[in-house]
Structure 1
Amino acid sequence: MRLYERFADKGYHSSIATTFGIDFDAYENIVLPRIRGAGCRNNMVLADARMLTHALGGASPLPRQAGRLYTASGAQVAGLFHPKLFLQIGRQGGRLFIGSANLTAAGLAGNLELVTLLTSGVEDDGAQRLIAQAYRYLSSLIDPADPMLPTQFEWMLARAAWLRSAAPAEGPVELGDGTRAALLLSNSPEGIGARFAREIDGEVKRLIVISPYWDERLGALSALAERLRPRAIAALIDTDTGLFPRDATGSISGITLYRRDGFGGSRFIHAKALIAQTDTADHLLIGSANCTVAALGTGNTSGSNSEASLYRQLPPGRAVSELGLEKVLTPERRIEAEKLPPLHVEDDIPFDALSQSHPGIFAVHGDTLSWRPAAQIGAPEAYEVELLAASVAPLVSNPTRLEGADHRRIRFQIEATDDLPAFARLIGPQEFTPGIITHIDALQIAIRETHSRQTENALAQLDGETEATLALLEVQDLLEKIEDRDADGHGEGVSIPKARKETDEGGQKHRQLSYDDFIAGRRPHQSGHVQHNSLGGSDVSIVRGFLNRIVGLNSLVTPVDENDEDALKAAFDLGDETQNAEAAMAAGEEFAAKPTSRPVPDGGEEEQRRNARRAKATKDQLVKAAADFAKRIELKQESGSLSSRDFLRLRALLMIICAASWRGTDKAGEKPKDRTSLQVLPVEGDANSWPYVLGRLIFKVFGGSKPAIRSLKLDSVHDQLPADLLECWATCFWCMHACLCARLSPGVNGGAKVGRGGGVKSGQLGGAPWRARWPHSWREPWRTGPLGPIVGRYFMVISAVYGLCCWRGDSFRRSSR
């Protein structure tokens, strides 16, 4: 098979590739486009740590997408990290490539490689157990302190219910074709060679060995010969490389050397295979292990390298036939050892120096850069960090070291730049290679599963929509049900792992922070390409994207020059600006970029009655949705805590109510000249006028003696308020101003009682009393000044954080996670 063609197969959402050496250009041009195009977006690469440093030091073109579309990490082991596994996981099964090919141009398309493929479904069978064994092995390689890999593994496992319950193989298993197989990994005291020999019963007629690299004394081959006692040994030799130790053949009885002429053309043979032929079976071992002591071990001693090979028991003669070895292992291709060139091995890779050149691990979350220094860096405080673009050009940014960091994890605040920083370079006493920066927020956006049919049907309801309607809540309900159902183990997977239940027993699970403590510990937001998003990786975030789209706000914001007034106006122009905002509001002017629905036609009396009934039904549904949300908040306070999804629902509901509001009333005789069919909530004259409904919703979350905002729980990974929460709070703040500026008849809400801090005790919002008591400084700056509404947009977001947090929501709960 052509390996690179199989990467385009669909049905998998995650991949883990292990390799000794890496060529970023080959991976990003051959593998990554194919797997991502097939819907596999959660991708990880594990390479030998020293070879990864070697690649970043100039042995490979530097990556363009590492840290943003996939993670590239180094595995540190005693010897060489040498397995070549490519594991893919999906909801309905998985597959595992095991072979000899590295993630290099030569390995993927140049060398003669040997790769085998195992595929499994959701049913318990031999292939599934081998895949589960490979997953367990790869999980053991993950550093828990890595900024992203544990999250990626959790994301993958959450979407593969079958893998969560699969039993890893502990030895040979039977495959669907009736043959036996075993995954032999270098995680056992017994060597791979000894375990392979243990599976062979009966007399070995011939042992066939294919390997590009050998021991200087053929130690591994001698150990196999002593254990198996084959009648004959056939070794396939590339006579041009000078990699075979010709002088050591005298110590091995019965060995015959064969030229590889015509086998694989002129390509370098990088394949590794052992075939022990008996009267009843061909015993095949293929994978990453060369015929060396470091790979196969000797006797009961394991090799020093980390390797992965697959054992297969096949019908007699099948392995030789499938590999086309009959035409190679012929008498005319025999060659005497003395005719081979002498052994000439040059190890030009300075592994010791590379071990000292690794700078550590860098990650960016929001505007915070974290650096976990490598163990050999004794004084990390002596180094400064320089940020580099993907082109390795230095960025105009000066990371500011934050206080409170220790030598194990140092944090910096970074400034927004035109380009995302791709690499970090240490400036100090010693020179290090650049380190890849893992962008946690960007990866959370990139790691998105191909939508299921249910999700696609739900999202289809939003296609072409330009207004927030109740259908949006139905979509969010469906997405949440899919996630929660699968989180309980009743579905095929989940979009976000279900939060663990937190209690106060058995140690500290969370801690309460006052508002001042919370603000003291947060980092200010920076205008950058990627923002904090607590909904990242969840299908529910699609609802957030829809809300941002209809108000003209992109979720990924590119910074603009603050001195460029035209750019600022363009960035914040939603079509609702006016030269005189106060006069326009006093006149009851509506603000919309484009009319989103046509006015009700002036039909007959029957049509007007139908429109009235439809409007009343929609109005009742809106009021009921607001009441249901209030009950939901009460239940969440009693049984748990508020999450980001609740605030997304609050924002959606507020926008729906605003879209359904209009400046008139339903009084008899008043003719709605420009009223649309969506505008069913009047400004006054009704117990459920839109200022009342908006006020009750906001008060439910932020008001009362025990405001629900106190139950908001944020993961400790967030050192600033996520953008989705800020967007919700800014929406709340806008709604407050809308209520304050609503055109009301004299005396309408005149008896409303206003509580301490602006909270309306009766739940009524709007009207003169609230307007009179609301701090003047909070409602005037956005109306006045030379920049007018543009300054107001900045002020609104800033005020939202302060005002809504202080408004009876003076404490937060932060998760210990």
Structure 2
Amino acid sequence: MADDSLYDALRRGGYEASLITTYNVYFPFYEEVVLRRLRASQCRHNVVLADARQCGASLSDTFAAPRRAGSDYTLVPMRSEAAFHPKVWLLVGKSRGLICLGSHNLTIAGFGYNREMTNWIEFDPRRDEAAVATARTVWGFIKTWLNDQQAFLPAPALEAVTSMKNHAPWLEGVSNVVADPTPLAQGTSTAPLFDQLIVHAPKSVKSIIVIGAFFDTKLQLLKALAKRWPEVRPMCGIEPATVSLPGKQLAKRQFDFRNASTLADRSGYLHAKAIFFEGRNGDHLLVSGSANPSAPAWLGGNEEAVLLRKGASARKAAEELGLLAIRECQPIAADQWASISESVAEQVAEEATRAAIVACETEIGFAAPLAAFPTIPKRCAAKVGESEPIELPIQLNKEDGMLVIPADRELRPGCTRLLFALAGGAVVEAIVHHTAMIEDLARSTQQAQFRAALQELGAESGDIAKLVSAVEKVIFDDASGAASEISDRSRRSSNQSAAQNEANLKPETLAVGMHETKKAKRHRRLLTGTDLGHLLDVLIHRLGVGLSRLDANVDSQGRTEEDRIGKDDDMEIPRNRVDDVKIASICQRKLRRLISRMKVQMDQQADPGPTVLVQLVAVLAITRELRKIEKHERWRRVHARLVDPADQRRLLDHVMVSFFGRGRDLYSRVVATLGTETFDEIARLKGLLIWLAWDCGVALDERFGISEHREAVEERIRNKAVLLELVQILSGDDISLEEARTSILSVANPGVHQAAAKWLVTCESWGRVVDEVLTRIRGDRIPPVQPSQIGSLAFATALARPRLRIVSSVSSGAVALFDFEQEIQYRPDRVSSVGLLSPEGLSAASPPSSS
């Protein structure tokens, strides 16, 4: 119907990843033709899911075996009770999608010679909600099929498939519209395809037309159609010269078979599969896809995928495809019946063909699931290029059910296949999945751009401004993708009670110090697969990746200060200092824009979700990294700052207003949506806020002299209020404390490390004192005392759950408690002061300068 091709779609561009499901695959065609076109069009991450037994047969064929699988693309052999038979193409990008669902295998014949039938749905995911719903349904089928393979495939291979969502966050989520057209799929965990079809069939059926290349011996699908609609006799269009009809004697007696050799006005093997239901009053249904008119395809056994078109569009498509013309075709003649093949259908693979196996590359060698082998292998050899196989040892890890094959680092990259010898002399070949190579391809374009900018920072010519721009794009340009991933976790925790939420934020006791918590509780991450999740992974969980060459104490030649003594630097090419000063100024402006956008995000959270919290973690993390980069010789020699201290302070003040200000309290509201579970991003946020307070020069000073200028007093009050909030939310979380400690020490110059560590210990100690006070307040063990001194701690006695605040002013008629947005005025008898004794040395605790 469509005058278009896959190559035309690729030329239009916009696709970053492809996934193909197929029964049979001719690997030379895929690798040398299709994959090359995909890569040439910037489609970097490519995945093939193919029937495991068919893959196994290809591995034993020297000419047809895959050569680039596991390094240039991901190959996943799919096991099945009968046959893994769906034919789906899914091409995705941030703003483009293409679904091809039909009858074609990934072969030269399927793409060029056969008469195939394929549904082509090309769409813009930003505008076509119905097509997005269709794509999400198809993506759900793929994940369901993958779920059935977990015992047989290593986790990195499965993760390579699901990382498709990195390139198209819109694949995940729940659609508010009905998928149109409607896809159906069959698998081990679904109802038979025929049972699903009945729900969509016309209420009153006038005729049924079936075409297909393979039937089962008992013609069970045709019998099921006849039983469900007894008043209708199904008409079957076949090509006598190529059809597989093992039940042809039954077909001659009971059903109406027509010679459809001329279908589509062209020659070629008739491999298309479809069923058209003609209904009354325009109620029609066209079903096309991978399912042959056989029992395994429709009544259970195979994995299959079909697409439903309904109403007038179904009849129009059937007419244009020539299906309605089958009524005019001649019945099968006697001589044609004699020539029809009764061979077994294509999807019944030879039992002697072993299913293909995947082994993944690990840090110590290779690993493969033990369940993938028919018996425990006796020996293993690595196939590297054209050389003789290299014997490798085998280790059995019964705890996780994996077969471990240690191998030298030098051998692993060139290994394409592992040969496993079984008892009795049989040999099983495993495709090697090179985990790191595939992970690199699986990164989205934005992730790749970010990593490229990050890698450049190790060089003297690294473009800092480009890094900040890449980060800004990741954080803000696809918030919907991050929100979609977070929403699933949020919903699971949303039913927790408000009391539990508040207790989780500010527990009843902080008596056990954070430094006393020896074992880090593992926190689950809110984000993993999206661009923003990748950004956080690099900046927080993989510190130093891409920045390993940035040593603050070495010059552009990698020499320390000691190494430079007595050396002639005439050969070093001097950098244009004016250029670096200008670059630093540009970097400041770009970071200022990033911070401004973050402030807008916080201000717009009338109904806050966790995305804003994760975005803030990313903004804080990149700010910290830039502060670390400032220590590099390149910037020190021109006295350049990449981060404006005023911008840092403005960010801190805005966070305190938005996250802890009266009436906004964004922090508590966001975390409440996540329930009682503690997520890694929350812990990182708390640690990074402590770092930001330190880097902004926030001091915990208990001295408030009556002769001081009001501005100085107000600054100390605000600083004390900042730390009062932050020490309370740390909540004994050792991950938060470790994040604060590593961040502070990474930014501080070596000369102030000791003072910086002391500042952090002081804050922690003050947190314990604050906790003791809160415990006494909640136990009604503090007698009411009217506040008499600014800077002291007090609380409003009328509140059901008292909150400690800083006294900002005292007069005979009113006491003002500090709030980040606006002071709160109380009558003196409605406020009680707290006698807070500082730990030893507390009053002198000011943050040292990082420089």
TM range (shorter): 0.5 to 0.7
Could you say which residue in structure 1 is the equivalent of 2:307? 310
Alpha carbons of structure 1 residues 461 and 620: separation in structure 2 relative to 1, 3 Å:
closer
Could you say which residue in structure 1 is the equivalent of 2:513? none
Could you say which residue in structure 1 is the equivalent of 2:414? 420
Alpha carbons of structure 1 residues 433 and 650: separation in structure 2 relative to 1, 3 Å:
same
Q: Is 1:5 paired with 2:7?
A: yes
Q: Contact 2:450 / 2:470 at 8 angstroms: preserved in 1?
A: no
Q: How does 1:104-119 map to 2 (within 5 A)?
A: 104-119=107-122
Shift of 1:201: 3.1
Corresponding residue SS for 2:155: coil
Shift of 1:421: 1.2
Q: Residue type of the partner of 1:590?
A: D
Looking at structure 1, the residues matched to 583 and 65 of structure 2 have their Cα atoms a distance apart, in angstroms, of: 62
State which of 365, 383, 386 in structure 1 corresponds to 2:381.
386
Looking at structure 2, the residues matched to 198 and 79 of structure 1 have their Cα atoms a distance apart, in angstroms, of: 25
Q: Contact 2:202 / 2:277 at 8 angstroms: preserved in 1?
A: no
Could you say which residue in structure 1 is the equivalent of 2:401? 408
Corresponding residue SS for 2:110: helix
Alpha carbons of structure 1 residues 15 and 538: separation in structure 2 relative to 1, 3 Å:
farther
Alpha carbons of structure 1 residues 230 and 535: separation in structure 2 relative to 1, 3 Å:
same
Looking at structure 1, the residues matched to 191 and 403 of structure 2 have their Cα atoms a distance apart, in angstroms, of: 41
Could you say which residue in structure 1 is the equivalent of 2:341? 343
Could you say which residue in structure 1 is the equivalent of 2:657? none
Could you say which residue in structure 2 is the equivalent of 1:248? 250
Could you say which residue in structure 1 is the equivalent of 2:287? 285
Q: Residue type of the partner of 1:296?
A: W
Q: Which has the higher helix share?
A: 2
Q: Residue type of the partner of 1:330?
A: E
Q: How does 1:672-751 map to 2 (within 5 A)?
A: 678=638, 711=738
Looking at structure 2, the residues matched to 124 and 36 of structure 1 have their Cα atoms a distance apart, in angstroms, of: 26
Corresponding residue SS for 1:659: helix
Could you say which residue in structure 2 is the equivalent of 1:131? 135
Shift of 1:711: 3.4
Could you say which residue in structure 1 is the equivalent of 2:67? 64
Could you say which residue in structure 2 is the equivalent of 1:266? 267
Q: Is 1:435 paired with 2:407?
A: no
Looking at structure 2, the residues matched to 308 and 443 of structure 1 have their Cα atoms a distance apart, in angstroms, of: 27
1:15-53 residue CA offsets vs partner (Å, 9 max, x unmatched): 322111222222223332333333333332221222222
Shift of 1:79: 1.9
Corresponding residue SS for 1:433: strand
State which of 133, 156, 176 in structure 1 corresponds to 2:164.
156
Q: Is 1:590 paired with 2:569?
A: yes
Q: Contact 2:154 / 2:368 at 8 angstroms: preserved in 1?
A: no
Q: Residue type of the partner of 2:89?
A: F
Shift of 1:310: 1.3
In structure 2, the gaps of 5 or more residues are 494-503, 508-516, 521-533, 596-613, 642-690, 696-732, 758-851
Corresponding residue SS for 2:163: helix
Give the number of aligned pairs. Answer: 599
Looking at structure 1, the residues matched to 131 and 617 of structure 2 have their Cα atoms a distance apart, in angstroms, of: 42
Could you say which residue in structure 1 is the equivalent of 2:444? 449
Q: Contact 1:207 / 1:233 at 8 angstroms: preserved in 2?
A: yes
Q: Residue type of the partner of 2:56?
A: T
Alpha carbons of structure 1 residues 616 and 597: separation in structure 2 relative to 1, 3 Å:
closer
Looking at structure 2, the residues matched to 543 and 264 of structure 1 have their Cα atoms a distance apart, in angstroms, of: 62
Q: Contact 1:369 / 1:412 at 8 angstroms: preserved in 2?
A: yes
Corresponding residue SS for 1:148: helix
1:446-502 residue CA offsets vs partner (Å, 9 max, x unmatched): 2232349xx979989999996357x61x5444444544557864769899x99999x
Looking at structure 2, the residues matched to 183 and 59 of structure 1 have their Cα atoms a distance apart, in angstroms, of: 37
Looking at structure 2, the residues matched to 125 and 4 of structure 1 have their Cα atoms a distance apart, in angstroms, of: 23
Shift of 1:408: 1.3
Q: How does 1:264-663 map to 2 (within 5 A)?
A: 265-281=266-282, 282-297=284-299, 303-315=300-312, 317-325=315-323, 329-330=327-328, 333-337=330-334, 339-340=336-337, 341-345=339-343, 351=349, 353-354=351-352, 357-358=354-355, 360-380=357-377, 382-383=378-379, 385-389=380-384, 391=385, 393-394=387-388, 399=392, 406=399, 408-417=401-410, 420-429=414-423, 430-451=425-446, 467=460, 472=464, 474-485=465-476, 489=480, 576=557, 585-590=564-569, 594-597=573-576, 653-654=628-629, 657-661=632-636
Alpha carbons of structure 1 residues 648 and 77: separation in structure 2 relative to 1, 3 Å:
farther
Q: How does 1:160-199 map to 2 (within 5 A)?
A: 160-167=168-175, 173=178, 175=180, 181-186=182-187, 190-199=191-200
Corresponding residue SS for 1:271: coil
Looking at structure 2, the residues matched to 295 and 227 of structure 1 have their Cα atoms a distance apart, in angstroms, of: 18
Could you say which residue in structure 1 is the equivalent of 2:52? 49
Corresponding residue SS for 1:442: helix
Corresponding residue SS for 1:58: coil
Q: Residue type of the partner of 1:421?
A: C
Q: Is 1:146 paired with 2:143?
A: no
Looking at structure 2, the residues matched to 43 and 592 of structure 1 have their Cα atoms a distance apart, in angstroms, of: 47
Could you say which residue in structure 1 is the equivalent of 2:30? 27
What is the TM-score normalised by the length of structure 2?
A: 0.57
Alpha carbons of structure 1 residues 405 and 658: separation in structure 2 relative to 1, 3 Å:
farther
In structure 1, the gaps of 5 or more residues are 298-302, 506-510, 515-533, 552-573, 601-610, 629-638, 663-677, 682-696, 714-724, 740-751, 754-758, 764-817
Shift of 1:272: 0.3
Shift of 1:273: 1.0
Looking at structure 1, the residues matched to 734 and 219 of structure 2 have their Cα atoms a distance apart, in angstroms, of: 75
Q: Residue type of the partner of 1:199?
A: H
Shift of 1:104: 1.8
Shift of 1:548: 7.8
Q: Contact 1:131 / 1:168 at 8 angstroms: preserved in 2?
A: no
Looking at structure 2, the residues matched to 615 and 307 of structure 1 have their Cα atoms a distance apart, in angstroms, of: 60
Looking at structure 2, the residues matched to 280 and 679 of structure 1 have their Cα atoms a distance apart, in angstroms, of: 80
Alpha carbons of structure 1 residues 592 and 159: separation in structure 2 relative to 1, 3 Å:
farther
Range moving further from structure 2, 438-447 or 309-318: 309-318
Q: Contact 2:19 / 2:90 at 8 angstroms: preserved in 1?
A: yes
Corresponding residue SS for 1:424: strand
Looking at structure 2, the residues matched to 132 and 656 of structure 1 have their Cα atoms a distance apart, in angstroms, of: 47
Q: Contact 1:364 / 1:370 at 8 angstroms: preserved in 2?
A: yes
Alpha carbons of structure 1 residues 186 and 538: separation in structure 2 relative to 1, 3 Å:
same
1:344-388 residue CA offsets vs partner (Å, 9 max, x unmatched): 315799846456x347431113443222223544434x33x3221
1:573-607 residue CA offsets vs partner (Å, 9 max, x unmatched): x99599xx99973225338764443899xxxxxxx
Alpha carbons of structure 1 residues 64 and 592: separation in structure 2 relative to 1, 3 Å:
farther
Looking at structure 2, the residues matched to 246 and 444 of structure 1 have their Cα atoms a distance apart, in angstroms, of: 50
Corresponding residue SS for 2:418: strand
